Structures are given as C-alpha cells and as structure tokens.
Amino acid sequence: MALWRAYQRALAAHPWKVQVLTAGSLMGLGDIISQQLVERRGLQEHQRGRTLTMVSLGCGFVGPVVGGWYKVLDRFIPGTTKVDALKKMLLDQGGFAPCFLGCFLPLVGALNGLPAQDNWAKLQRDYPDALITNYYLWPAVQLANFYLVPLHYRLAVVQCVAVIWNSYLSWKAHRL
C-alpha cells in the first residue's frame, strides 16, 4: 500500500512524467517476460538492447501517444456513463487501435534496423494477426477502463494489463 500511495503522490505532482515512465517501465517488463518466459532465452542470451528499445518506445511513443489519446477521447466524449464508456471503447478500438498498431510495428522494425522493404513486408505479415489478437483482449479491458477508472489512472491500468500484451507485441515485433 505504501508503494501505491507513493505512486499516487507522484502522479498527482507530475502526471505526465509518471505516466510516461510507467509506460516505459511496463513495456520493458513486457519484453523481459517475452524473452525469458515466451522465447526462453535465458539471462546469457537476453537481448538488453531490445529491452532498452521497448523501454524507449514506452517512454517516447506509447506513453505520450496513448496518454494523449485518452485526454482527447475524454474531451470528445465527456462523461462516465455506460453509454459513454461504450462510445469511447468503440472509437478507441475502431479508430485508434488499428492506427496505433500500424505505427508501432514498423517503428520497432525501423529501430531494429530493418530496411524499409523488409519492414513493409513484416508489417503486411504481422499486422492482421496483431489486430485480431488485439480484439480478443482490449475491447473488454477498455470498456471497464473507460467506465470505472478516472482519466489520470487509465494509462497505468492499461499498462498493467498491457504487460501481457507487451510481451506478445515484443515477441511479434521482434520475430523475423
């Protein structure tokens, strides 16, 4: 509980910084889980640069973009009724999620040094499966998130659930 209270104080004092650092930390954790539990690399074969890339993506892309999206979405559809939450989820999953994945996957490829042609081929191969997998998890999470969670905690809640999602995305994005 003390850790949670410290997080709440930090979030109140520096909301944007804390949200971005939370996203980066949990993206890194997702990559560690991917490398150690899914890919079973072991500590000797762990690709630290890859984990650092995912942390950087969390801090520099995921945190700011998703955090900003939630603010825009809350201004566009104010309110927390069930109908408001449903509208937000539909807009999030129908508009934002496809665009976000379409940016995230090639960004990882570019940061990993993939040539543009290979990156495009990888996006064409991986995007449909990633988007379909997204729809298995995120609509229910986002519906609950938009209905039950105050705006300033939404990114943190999503990023906690996203540890599993980030493990999948890291595996998907780094699979050649």
Total number of domains in the chain: 1
Looking at residue 39, what is its pLDDT? Answer: 87
Q: What is the pLDDT of residues 63-104, one digit of tens each?
A: 999 989 999 999 999 998 999 999 999 999 999 999 999 999
Looking at residue 176, what is its pLDDT? Answer: 62
Q: What is the token pair recorded at 88? A: 């937000």
Q: What is the token pair recorded at 26? A: 């949990």
Q: What is the token pair recorded at 149? A: 């969670």
Counting as low any pLDDT under 70, the low residues of the chain are 176
Helices of type H across the chain: 2-13, 15-33, 48-57, 63-76, 82-91, 97-111, 116-148, 151-174
* Domain, as residue range, for 66: 1-174
